[in-house]
Amino acid sequence: MSSVSLTHPTNEAFADIKGEIAAEEAADTTKKRLGPLFWGCAGFIVLVAFLATFASVLPLPNPDLGNYSSAQNAGPGWGHLLGTDDLYRDILSRLIYGARVSLVVGFGGALIGLALGGIPAMISAFRRGRVDTVLNTTSYVFLAFPAIVAVIAIVSFWGHSLFKITLIIGIFAAPLIYRVVRAATLSYATRDFVLAAKALGASDTRILTREILPNIMPTIVSFGLIAVATIIVLEGSLAFLGLSVQPPTPSWGNMLNEGASLLTGAKGQTNPWLVIFPASAMFLLLFSLNVVADKLRAYFDVTEIKL
Amino acid sequence: MSERTVLEVENLEVAFATSRGPLRAVQGVSLELEQGKTLGIVGESGSGKTVLSRAIMGLLPRTTASQSGSVRYKGAQILNAPDDELRKLWSTHIAMVFQDPMTSLNPVQRIGHQITEPLRVHLKLSKSEAKETALSLLMQVGIPSPTERYEAYPAQLSGGMRQRVVIAIALACAPRLLLADEPTTGLDVTVQAQILDLLGHLQHERDMAMILVTHDLGVVATRTDEIIVMYAGNVVERAPTNVLFKSMAMPYTEALLNSMPRLANPSHTRLTAIDGRPPDLLRPTPGCPFSPRCPYAQDKCHVEKPSLVETAPGHSYACWYPLGAGRRDGNAPAQREPVVP
């Protein structure tokens, strides 16, 4: 410590800086707020996540096995809050267990996509050169291929366990995330403060994680959440086609699939609730994810706008 | 080379590969700098002064800039040295103050974090030691209530304050050589003088060598020991500061000086500008690069390039028909007394 204070002897501040202080006080930051809509939406996501996580300890009837003493195809009521389906199963219970599938595939797929797309994106935008060219071209090749067709093909061959579906969707989300993260990194990689950090002897890893990453974090978080929403829709489409987790395990997509046949009365009965509830749940979750993503992006943008 | 020599640059060449051929941004520049001395590099935009300072730092991209010649820091060759080796010098031996304090600080990191980072990485200080040093540094660069500013984001500070922070970061690990690349260009005039005084004060206090890059002769006039005037990637005049202002030989130096606004002039005096445009470095002319714009240019100037010759101890210039006593041709326009600011 003594050597440090030797190299940096303290001396009193200079007197001629009063004007600067005044100018600086004028440039005060105004506190930004996220607003009630954000908190409502974030609350809904947290609620869904909470229910899905603790579904097995919550007092819920078995989602896969109907209780034959209950009414069949009942509307919402006290015994079954959201009613029952044609196999006497509790819709609320199936909805909550189905949320597990949506959330795992959605967030898991987005995380896999971020790892496979985001990390190479930062490196390629920072290093440029041949690495960038190769990765860039690869991402275009992947993007040119219709993801849903590829996913359907692979899933029908390889199997449709939760893990496999998450992995496959994550792989196909990667090129899109790569493009967004690469563009964000590019806009910062040539900034003066990156060069300044280099001139201070910071290693490339340090520059990427400490200088660039905090700057592109708002982009990553908001686009990541939108990726989650998109992946949930994709999983829903797969499930509707019967290519996601297999019945009786519930997912919102296969609940819709089962409900669709009861909507037309093809089985001799109709039960619109079987479509209304999973569709509303999916709509609310996607809406919340998009609102949260958008509000977060605006919230974190503050320093950039002020510069 | 004396014992006190910190930096030695010999015949440095920097060329950028472009689609229209190589762009020779720095052409055979040599200079030497001793501990505690200040060297001014003066020239207009595009004269190669920023490229020169970045080449000395080793910050130019290897893929696009080819560099030859030699840059020695305390005798050790650092030109084209691998980044791993340069990293040992950066910040602890050589540091740089960048031009624009609005962009050279990370907008999303607190001031304190940005100052303590090099201290913790290079000097391996603990968190509390680094903070203590950082606060003392902020105090040294004249930032009031450093404990408050320590927690601030760059956007919460004014331009002058930010440049003070940038200087504090550059000086954090007590470098022996500081390169200041137009450190005051982004600031208004009153703050400019304060920042330059601050740099001079800190340099003197630390017996540090400094290179001050600027386009403003007024900036270097009182704050440097030696001045190098650059034009189109070449050194066109080099002299100790007092000699340069007493007997400048190169018409370009004079033109630079004449294009400075003067307080003594009456209001609405037209500002003298250098006629013509900076040369296209991709299409060099055979003669003196300044000849198309030079008021004293003769036929010889357009066909033959003058080399840098030393006429008096320490004073060298590249001109066939220098100003003042050294004028070699009677046909040139009447002699003019150089104006000292």
> In whole angstroms, what is the distance from residue B13 CA to residue A158 CA?
60
Average pLDDT over chain A reads 83
Give whichever of A3-12, A164-173, B54-63, B295-304 has the largest mean pLDDT.
Answer: A164-173
Predicted pLDDT at B64: 83
The answer to whether residues B253 and B236 touch, using CB atoms and an 8 Å cutoff, is yes
Asked if A30 has any chain B CB less than 8 Å from its own CB, the reply is no
Residue ranges of alpha helices (H) inside chain A are 2-7, 18-26, 35-53, 91-113, 119-127, 129-144, 147-158, 162-189, 192-199, 204-206, 213-240, 252-263, 273-300, 302-306
Give whichever of A21-30, A294-303, B279-288 has the largest mean pLDDT.
Answer: B279-288
Provide, rounded to the nearest whole percent, the portion of chain B with pLDDT above 90.
27
Predicted pLDDT at A303: 55
Q: How confident is the model at residue A82 (pLDDT cuts 50, 70, 90)?
A: confident
Predicted pLDDT at B329: 45
> In whole angstroms, what is the distance from residue A142 CA to residue A188 CA?
26
Q: How confident is the model at residue A302 (pLDDT cuts 50, 70, 90)?
A: low
ipTM above 0.90, yes or no: no
Give the one of A10, A192, A202 whose C-beta lies nearest to B136's C-beta: A10
**Which residue in chain A is spatially nearest to B153 when comparing CA positions?**
A303
> In whole angstroms, what is the distance from residue A52 CA to residue A175 CA?
29
Cross-chain Cβ contact B174/A203 below 8 Å: no
CA neighbor of A52 nearest in space, from A112, A113, A105: A105
pLDDT at A246 over 60: yes
User: What is the mean pLDDT of the segment spanning B182-194?
Assistant: 82
pLDDT at B86 over 50: yes
Q: How confident is the model at residue A201 (pLDDT cuts 50, 70, 90)?
A: confident
> In whole angstroms, what is the distance from residue B96 CA to residue B79 CA?
16
pLDDT digits (tens, 9 = 90+) for A145-160: 888 888 888 988 888 8
Q: How many CB pairs under 8 A join A and B?
A: 133
Give whichever of A108-117, A198-207, B165-174, B250-259 has the largest mean pLDDT.
Answer: A108-117
Give the one of A10, A217, A303 whose C-beta lies nearest to B139's C-beta: A10
Domains present along chain B, CATH in parentheses: 5-230 (3.40.50.300), 232-326 (no CATH)
Predicted pLDDT at B192: 84
User: What is the mean pLDDT of the segment spanning B2-27?
Assistant: 89
Predicted pLDDT at B121: 87
**Which residue in chain A is spatially nearest to B114 when comparing CA positions?**
A197
Predicted pLDDT at A46: 95
The answer to whether residues A121 and A220 touch, using CB atoms and an 8 Å cutoff, is no
Tell me the β-bridge partners of B71.
B9
Predicted pLDDT at A268: 67
pLDDT at B315 over 70: yes
Predicted pLDDT at A7: 39
Q: How confident is the model at residue A11 (pLDDT cuts 50, 70, 90)?
A: very low
CA neighbor of A102 nearest in space, from A302, A254, A272: A254
> In whole angstroms, what is the distance from residue A44 CA to residue A35 CA?
15
Tell me the β-bridge partners of B228.
B41, B238
pLDDT at A304 over 80: no
pLDDT at A114 over 90: yes
> In whole angstroms, what is the distance from residue A136 CA to residue A134 CA?
5
The answer to whether residues A139 and A183 touch, using CB atoms and an 8 Å cutoff, is no
Q: How confident is the model at residue B294 (pLDDT cuts 50, 70, 90)?
A: confident
Distance from the B5 Cα atom to the nearest Cα atom in chain A, whole angstroms: 21
